[in-house]
Amino acid sequence: MKTIDLLDALYSVMRDQGGVWTTRRVMDLPAPLGTDQRSVARQRLDALAERKQLLPMPGHDRAFRVNHAGGEER
């Protein structure tokens, strides 16, 4: 699975499930969306945040929520 496709699929799952997304929560997803490597889960969260599809949770280190107001321009 290409990285772009994987991020799109991960974002779709995040949108469907909602809530707060942390490194651990991404790690707990089944492969290929999930991973047993913390650094990979963090990279995926950071990539989605960079695309403005995730917003950081104030007061929580490395926790995000889905940006329902937009995200990257299509």
Q: What does pTM read for this prediction?
A: 0.87
In a domain, 73, yes or no: no
Please, are residues 42 and 23 in contact by the beta-carbon 8 Å criterion? yes
* CATH number of the CATH domain containing 55: 1.10.10
What number of CA atoms fall less than 13 Å from residue 44's CA on the CB side? 29
Asked, for residue 36, whether it belongs to a domain, the answer is: yes
Q: Is residue 39 part of a domain?
A: yes
pLDDT tens for residues 1-56? Answer: 777 899 999 999 999 999 999 999 999 999 999 999 999 999 999 999 999 999 99
Domain assignment present for residue 74? The answer is: no
> How many structural domains does the chain have?
1
- Of residues 36, 31, 37, 38, the one with CA closest to residue 10: 31
Domain that holds residue 7: 3-66
Per the domain annotation, does 8 fall within a domain? Answer: yes
